Amino acid sequence: MISISLQGLRKGQCLSDIWVYQYKQGGIFLIPKSVIKRIEAICRNFLWDGSSEYHKVPLVAWETVTLPKNEGGLGIKRALTWNYATIGKLVDWVYTKSDRLWIKWVHQLYIKDKDWHNYSPPSDAAWAWKNICKIKEMIKNGYVANTWILNTKGYTVSSGYEWLRHKQPQQHWTPMIWSNWNIPKHAIITWISMHKGLKVKEKLFRLGCCTDDGCIICDREVETQAHLFFDCPYINQVLQLLEQWCGFRIHVSMLGGLQNAKNCLKQQVHYLLWNALYYHVWSQRNAARIQSVLIRPQKLAEMIKDEVCRRIKVTMGRSPSRNDSTWLRKWGL
């Protein structure tokens, strides 16, 4: 432990020693914005390219990626907001007058007998203290009578992050994508499509990256996401084959997904089929564009069936009910 005399400290003096002490005690320290921006850039680049460097436009904005899954994001936390929420712990210690050396120091040197809730730092205060006071202004409305109102156990970094982040409405389609039954690579393609991030020809043509915007598969209409996944004759043939096999209608549209499920198993299988269909249709579209190869709808339907059956066997941990067993036997499971 670092020993610091309260009487010998002046404004800004030994501040670095205090932050070293604070870091050892709780791992809390201010990170410069330039460092945080670089950290987020590395995370963003790794997400889209698997490396620290990526020079293309991301498929989905980082502001969307960092939303919780039920709000349409991937649940990745914003580094800057998380750092602010972490520093909020220092603010809370001042509110609660925690029995810590650093808290005693700021009360004696800065706050003295002033009201911390309405406190403003002096112009000659240290940089670190001014930033702590800035973060205090961000979260102070979450305190009533010096008590954090979002959590009965007091301030936590998680609750501070929830207070600071910009919340968005919950999306009705997220349970269909993030079901534990879905194969992750299928789910991520469907998620990108929900944010209109797939590079269909309509978008590429608008950016001047290709000479026409016609559908690669059917060559009848403009290749938009709506056409590719809802209207293209190719996907409709695959859909008909899969529906004949599973015995219920597969809604490619997001709006009808939950209406098919008579029980939990059928609901999960519906989600599984639906995401697999999105993934494989997009894969076939890319194969047609890059390799000029497109397999028959019957073969694609068989590929999806096999993949779904394997996933069901791996994921279904408990013994199915009698009705579910009868239903699964029709599928050969």
pLDDT digits (tens, 9 = 90+) for 34-72: 989 998 999 899 888 888 787 788 899 999 999 999 999
Task: State whether 119 and 219 are in the same domain.
Answer: no
Q: Scan for tokens 């069901």, then name that residue.
A: 312
pLDDT in tens, 157-175: 999 999 999 999 999 889 8
Q: Where is the domain boundary, 131, 164, 197?
A: 164
92 and 188 housed in the same domain: no
Mean local confidence (pLDDT), 127-150: 91
Residues 189 and 318 placed together within one structural domain of the fold: yes
Q: Find out whether 75 and 178 touch, Cβ atoms under 8 Å.
A: no
Q: Based on the domain organization, do 188 and 316 belong to the same domain?
A: yes
Asked if residue 3 is part of any domain, the answer here is no
Q: Do the domain assignments include residue 5?
A: no
302 in any annotated domain: yes
Query: Does one domain contain both 324 and 183?
Result: yes
Domain end: 135, 164, 193, which one? 164
* Shared domain check, 114 and 192: no
- Is residue 31 pLDDT above 90, yes or no? no
299 within a domain of the structure (yes/no)? yes
Residues 6+ apart with CB under 8 A from 90: 22, 28, 102, 132
Do 151 and 189 reside in the same domain of the chain? Answer: no
- What does the pLDDT read at residue 5? 35
Structural domain range at position 127: 15-164
Within a domain: 4:
no
Q: Which of 164, 183, 207 is the last residue before a domain boundary?
A: 164
Question: How many structural domains is the chain composed of?
Answer: 2
Which band of pLDDT confidence, cut at 50, 70 and 90, is reported for residue 251?
A: low
Burial 208-231 (b: 16+ CB within 10 A, else e): eebeebbbbbeeeeebbbebbbee
Please indicate whether residue 7 or residue 132 has the higher confidence score (pLDDT). 132
Instruction: Answer yes or no: is 41 within a domain.
Output: yes
